Structure 1
């Protein structure tokens, strides 16, 4: 008998027996290692915004033309137009934001850059003014905020209208939208 064939068969049988033994009884623990990871997730309160007051410029006559401004505290002033105390009371808009305690968020503004009269189709340019404290701000826009420990904050929106001396009488309207998103 050929000795290399015998060794080959013996070697194969020994290798097969070793493999079976490892499979049946498992590999020694020195060849395996393990680690555990803790997994977690935090669910937060969804951010929300509601409008609790609308921006109202009240009544005025165009006069020589110019600007009518409603500050973020609702105080109205004019340079050129003649303000009327009759009718609706001027007011700043107010948006109430709620969400996760102490979270920061971004604010984007969209909507009316013009107020339009539905009858005459004439317009007045609107510049938005906003702040977070109703401090009577008369220029600029806020772009971020931080919810308090109770998960709430308000945004106040005023504005400035550009009025021409020949501005047609009528009711001018337009929508301004405040959108908030967690940072």
Structure 2
């Protein structure tokens, strides 16, 4: 009979241990599963826009012995070499107005013609170098590549330029396009 008691005790102990183990593992699985939520949000901002409000105009001039004609970002014209400016022609810097989301930064990409082409069947050209700034401060070199919109979501970009004029530059009306593209950073 002792063996039967021993067997019953061992069996009960093994059964109890199995129940405890199953309960522990079952409890472990139920405690392991947790959930968390994320608040999802999005903000739609004002699209960035750019419009031209003034063209870059070099005005009238005679080539002389060649040189350069520069229109600064404030519209002031200067020359190098014996280029003769003609009075009565008014140079102007181009102006682009940018609007968008208040206080946002943006990049500026310049593209377009690197020369002006004459209306004489396109055979005459003058090399064009862009000059730009954000304040119409009279810059005569470099290009601006970034800007920051004001608290009211606006800023202007001013474009001047430098023309290289040959001594035998044919008389013609010269034109070309420079494009400013803006994109939020």
Shorter-chain TM range is 0.7 to 0.9
C-alpha distance in 1, partners of 2:150/2:63? 42
Task: Tell me which residue corresponds to 2:149.
Answer: 147
Task: Tell me which residue corresponds to 1:38.
Answer: 39
C-alpha distance in 2, partners of 1:182/1:35? 34
C-alpha distance in 1, partners of 2:169/2:33? 84
Task: Tell me which residue corresponds to 2:133.
Answer: 131
Q: Deviations over 1:20-39 (max 9, x none)?
A: xxxxxxxx975643222111
Is the partner of 2:169 in helix, strand or coil? coil
CA-atom RMSD, angstroms? 1.9
Give the paired residue count: 158
TM-score computed with the length of structure 1 as normaliser: 0.82
Structure 2: 5+ residue stretches without partners: 1-28
Structure 1: 5+ residue stretches without partners: 1-27
C-alpha distance in 1, partners of 2:32/2:59? 82
C-alpha distance in 2, partners of 1:167/1:84? 15
Is the partner of 2:180 in helix, strand or coil? strand
Is the partner of 1:169 in helix, strand or coil? coil
More displaced 10-residue stretch of structure 1: 69-78 or 33-42: 33-42
C-alpha distance in 1, partners of 2:133/2:72? 10
Q: CA deviation at 1:112?
A: 1.1
Is the partner of 2:50 in helix, strand or coil? strand
Task: Tell me which residue corresponds to 1:174.
Answer: 176
- Structure showing greater radius of gyration is 2
Task: Tell me which residue corresponds to 1:66.
Answer: 67
Q: Deviations over 1:29-61 (max 9, x none)?
A: 756432221110011110010000000000000
Which 4+ residue blocks in structure 1 deviate beyond 2 angstroms? 28-34
Task: Tell me which residue corresponds to 1:98.
Answer: 99
More displaced 10-residue stretch of structure 1: 29-38 or 68-77: 29-38
C-alpha distance in 2, partners of 1:139/1:46? 30
Q: CA deviation at 1:133?
A: 0.2
Q: Deviations over 1:120-163 (max 9, x none)?
A: 52000000000000000000000000001010000000000000
